[in-house]
């Protein structure tokens, strides 16, 4: 574990770009740092889909199709339902083209499909954010406490800078593996160069170098078993087959 604060990253950005606070404020650099963190997470997830994976349970309600996902949800990795034998069964994504057949099926735990939602349309026709949700098709005809389990990657929490006066804000930290903060620094320096109307070519090259290093590192963080062929739909999976199919680098 390597905990890094926003203040440390901002200080390094100022050192690399040789920019003073009178030209670019700490607040503006902090906004870029948090955007750089988001870019870093997306970069890592391209190579390691289960990075920082966590799970959460949701109460199933008979006749209810849509369920809100956890407040820190970012990327969905899997959905499972608790069966009568107290074992978790993996659900397959809902295939829109197969909706006539799927809706006509008898409602059973093994026949339910899921679909990721996020934007709800209100009666006025205006799109309003309804929050990320998962919809089950057909809607379950049973009620089960904590009967739905979702596997997901959480979104990042923004870094803050400590404030001087009361009430004091404690500066939070982020765990960056083995120098991954170099990507954030270079990501921000490129933007500093652009704002200061300076040539960012060298910094862009360094950013690409840092990106490739992180990609290689992200692939090797999980020394998993060799890749294998798996049923992506979940329809042919055995009742205990909850293993993840992983793409291994060649």
Residue 63 lies in a domain: yes
Confidence band for 111, pLDDT divided at 50, 70 and 90? low
Confidence band for 208, pLDDT divided at 50, 70 and 90? very high
Do residue 147 and residue 173 come from a single domain? no
pLDDT digits (tens, 9 = 90+) for 163-173: 644 554 556 77
Kindly state the DSSP code that residue 236 receives in the 8-state scheme: T
Do residue 150 and residue 160 come from a single domain? no
Helices 26-47, 201-220: axis angle to 10 degrees equals 40
Indicate the SS3 state at residue 75: strand
- From CA 22, how far away is CA 14, in angstroms rounded? 12
| Cβ(81)–Cβ(109) below 8 Å | yes
Report the pLDDT value the prediction gives residue 237, as an integer from 0 to 100: 44
Confidence band for 102, pLDDT divided at 50, 70 and 90? low
Task: Read off the pLDDT of each residue in 135-154 and give the average, rounded to a whole number.
Answer: 88
| Cβ(246)–Cβ(227) below 8 Å | yes
Do residue 44 and residue 85 come from a single domain? no
What percentage of residues in the chain have a pLDDT greater than 90?
37
Nearest C-alpha neighbor of 174 from the set 19, 72, 25, 33: 33
Cα-based angle 91, 105, 78 (whole degrees, multiple of 5)? 10
Do residue 116 and residue 176 come from a single domain? no
Do residue 132 and residue 179 come from a single domain? no
Residue 93 lies in a domain: yes
Furthest CA-CA distance within the chain: 67
How many domains are contained in the chain?
2
Residue 236 lies in a domain: no
Report the pLDDT value the prediction gives residue 121, as an integer from 0 to 100: 37
Do residue 108 and residue 189 come from a single domain? no
Residue 101 lies in a domain: yes
pTM score, whole prediction:
0.76
Residue 186 lies in a domain: yes
Residue 227 lies in a domain: no
Do residue 133 and residue 177 come from a single domain? no
Confidence band for 39, pLDDT divided at 50, 70 and 90? very high
Which secondary-structure segment (H or E) carries 90? strand 88-90
The boundaries of the domain holding residue 26 are 3-49+156-220
Question: What residues contact 178, with CB distance under 8 A and at least 6 apart?
Answer: 2, 217
- What are residue 70's phi and psi, to 5 degrees? -55, 150
Residue 231 lies in a domain: no
User: Which own/partner pairs from 222-225 qualify as long-range (CB within 8 Å, at least 24 positions apart)?
Assistant: 222/48, 222/50, 222/246, 224/248
Report the pLDDT value the prediction gives residue 204, as an integer from 0 to 100: 95
The pLDDT of residue 130 is above 70:
no
Do residue 94 and residue 143 come from a single domain? yes
Do residue 45 and residue 135 come from a single domain? no
Residue 121 lies in a domain: yes
Do residue 26 and residue 114 come from a single domain? no
Do residue 70 and residue 187 come from a single domain? no
- The Cα-based distances of 31 to 19, 156, 197 in angstroms read 16, 13, 19
| Cβ(118)–Cβ(131) below 8 Å | yes
**Domain end among 99, 129, 154:** 154
Do residue 146 and residue 170 come from a single domain? no
């Amino acid at each position: 574990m390597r905990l890094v604060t926003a203040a440390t990253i901002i200080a390094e950005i100022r050192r690399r770009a040789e920019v003073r606070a009178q030209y670019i404020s700490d607040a503006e650099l902090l906004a870029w740092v948090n955007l750089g963190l988001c870019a870093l997470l997306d970069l890592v997830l391209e190579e390691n889909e289960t990075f920082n994976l966590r799970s959460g349970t949701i109460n199933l309600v008979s006749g209810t199709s849509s369920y809100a996902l956890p407040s820190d949800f970012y990327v969905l990795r899997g959905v499972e339902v608790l069966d009568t034998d107290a074992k978790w069964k993996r659900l397959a994504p809902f295939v829109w083209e197969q909706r006539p057949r799927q809706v006509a099926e008898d409602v059973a735990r093994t026949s339910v499909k899921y679909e990721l939602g996020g934007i709800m349309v209100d009666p006025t026709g205006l799109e309003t954010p309804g929050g990320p949700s998962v919809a089950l098709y057909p809607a379950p005809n049973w009620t089960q406490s904590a009967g739905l389990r979702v596997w997901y990657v959480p979104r990042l929490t923004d870094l803050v800078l400590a404030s001087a006066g009361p009430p004091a804000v404690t500066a939070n930290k982020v765990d960056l593996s083995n120098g991954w903060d170099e990507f954030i620094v270079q990501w921000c320096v490129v933007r500093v160069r652009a704002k200061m109307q300076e040539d960012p070519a060298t910094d862009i090259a360094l950013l690409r170098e840092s990106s490739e290093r992180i990609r290689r590192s992200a692939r090797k963080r999980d020394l998993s078993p060799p890749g294998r062929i798996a049923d992506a739909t979940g329809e042919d999976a055995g009742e205990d087959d909850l293993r993840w199919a992983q793409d291994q680098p060649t």
